Every structure is written in C-alpha cells, then in structure tokens.
Amino acid sequence: MDRFEWSKGTLIPGEVTVTQQSGVKIYDGSEKTPFERGMLVLSSHHIFWRDPQRQSCIIALPLSLVLFAEEVSEGRGRSQKIVLHLLPPQPGKPVGPSMSSAHSNIRFGFKEAGETEFFRCLSEELRRKRWEHAQPATVAVKPKEIRAGIVGIERRIEEKRKETDSTISKAFEDLNKLMDKAKEMVNLSKTISNKIKERQGSITENETIQFKSYLLSLGISNPVTRETHGSGSNYHIELAKQLSEFLKQPIEESGGMMALTDVYCRINRARGMELLSPDDLVDACKQFDYLKCPLSWSSMNLSLLMNYQSLSAYPYH
C-alpha cells in the first residue's frame, strides 16, 4: 500500500478514463485493508480507488509502478482477484495512506464481478504504456533571440561549429574507450591461446574470470523479439531455442539448476535494450520439454516456481 498516494481524482493532460468497477476491495499482499467495496477506476496513467461513502477519500496508483498483473482464483465461493506486482516506491513520492509495506504486491477483490473485463483493459494499458507519452502541464517557451545582419549570421555559424566540435570530441572519446577495451580482450585471448599451444603453465583463475566477464558483456547479438517473430506461439518457441543455447553452459556451471531470478537477470543483461517480461520468460521455459532442448523445465520447475514471485524486484520496462 505504500505505492498509493492521496489524490483528488482529477486527470492530467492527455490522460483518459478507460473503465471502472464498483464493489472492489484492496489487499496489501494477502492482508486486509480498510479500503472496502469502493469504485475502482482505470485510466491510461493511473488506477484510482474511490470510497462511495466519502467522495473525498481517493487514492491513486501510477501504472508506471506496475511490473506485471495476473488474474487469480482463490477457490469456490471466494471473490476473484487481480494481483499487481509492483516496483519499489519512487523517491519523493507524494503522501499516501501508508508510509511503508512489507509486500511488493497488492490485490483487488471484486465483490460484484467484472474482474475479467477490468483485467483485459488493464493488460492493454500496461502493454501500450501511454503514460510514457504524457504531455507536460506547462512548456517553457524560450524567448526568440533576434539577430540581424552579417554579425548575427557569423555568430550562428560559430555556435554551430562549436556544437559540432563538441559532438565529434565526445564520439572520439567513446571510440577510444571501445578500442582500449578491445585491446585488453585481444591481449588476454593471445595469452590464453599461447598457453594452450605450448601446453605448459596453467591459466590463472583471475584470467579465466576476466575472460568470462568479457564474453558475458558481449551478450546476445540477435535477440528474438515480437517484432521479428510475431506475438503467437512461434515467438515463445524461437525464444526457448535461444534461451536453451544461451543458458546451457551457465546452468551446467551452477550445478544443473538455476533460480529463475538469476536466469531473468542474466538474460535481460545479455539482451541489452530488448528486455523480456517475466511472463514471456516463463512461457518460453515451458517449451523446453516440447522442443527436446538440453534444458528441462521439469528439472528446474521447483526452483523456477519458488522464485517466480520474487521477480517483482527486477524492473523490465
């Protein structure tokens, strides 16, 4: 509950209401809260909860803090629930109903049904991420500087030249850093190659660790994405093949089993900007047995399921 903040219920510029549902109760993790049977409103940027008895009692949760959502059923006769796994609260967060919480997820209990439609709309907004394109409330307009004649033209040319020189200088600095790192990798590979050819001496532990760190930093050169393989089962099948190839050696070095949180961090580090969601990672791992890959979902099943909830500590979007 420490991610919620008190709100007036007003929308910011560019924000629109998507759907709403009455009779919704909020749980902090699995613990009950005093926020019962309120109106839950989904917008393109927030989730609002409004007390029907006290119209001034409104709390809001930014959608940018939602890592992922899932729809769960807790047994016959009990209300359906939507679980939101959340990122840590941001520094400087506005005041809310709770200053701290031991849980990284909240639950919405739907006493009057409607959870399926609400979950569908919520999943769509999390996919679209419209809050990332919000327009600022005010835009400072820089006063236009008036320059006339030859002197003004010469000053603009000089400023443009200085800007270009600065950009080129920064580019060469980055290139020099890359060349220095490449030289280190070449020298290290030559040392290891010479020792193997001569069959004398041993490769030190420091050299091995350093060489592995360089290889890990190279990452996956052509990661499987939805843009290249679509959004259907073919995407998860191709992703599973790539994961199996990439993870085979790390899992062998880990004793034949690796926690899903470690797999998640290692894969997303290797993929660079093409980050995976926790759901896509799990769905791809489930294809291992079907594809007869060297890795087996069943052999990692216990470890994976035990660590699935702890993925909320690792942001991906």
- What digits encode the pLDDT tens for the residues 238-261? 888 888 888 878 777 777 788 778
Where residue 137 falls among pLDDT bands split at 50, 70, 90?
Answer: very low
CATH 1.10.10.10 spans which residues of the chain?
Answer: 222-313
Q: What is the pTM of this model?
A: 0.43
Q: Which tokens sit at 199?
A: 């069959």
pLDDT tens per residue across span 84-104? 999 888 888 888 888 888 888
- What amino acid occupies position 98? S
Q: Where are the alpha helices (DSSP H) in the chain?
A: 115-128, 149-198, 205-218, 226-229, 233-253, 260-271, 278-285, 288-291, 297-307
The matching CATH number, chosen from 3.40.50.720, 3.40.50.360, 1.10.10.10, 1.20.1440.130, for 222-313 is 1.10.10.10
Taking the CA atoms of residue 83, residue 89, residue 94 and residue 95 in that order, the dihedral angle to the nearest 10 degrees is 70
Name every residue whose Cβ is closer than 8 Å to that of residue 181 and which is 6 or more positions away in sequence: none
Closest CA to 45 of 79, 4, 17: 17
Report whether 94 contacts 1 (CB < 8 A).
Answer: no
CATH 2.30.29.30 spans which residues of the chain?
Answer: 5-131
Residue 266 pLDDT greater than 60, yes or no: yes
Where residue 164 falls among pLDDT bands split at 50, 70, 90?
Answer: confident
What dotted CATH number matches 5-131?
A: 2.30.29.30
Query: For the purposes of burial, counting CB atoms within 10 Å of the CB of 43, is it exposed (0-12), middle (13-18) or buried (19 or more)?
Result: buried
Mean per-residue pLDDT of the chain: 77
- What amino acid occupies position 306? M
Rounded to a whole number, what is the distance in angstroms from the first to the last CA of the chain?
21
Report whether 39 contacts 24 (CB < 8 A).
Answer: yes
Residue 152 pLDDT greater than 80, yes or no: no
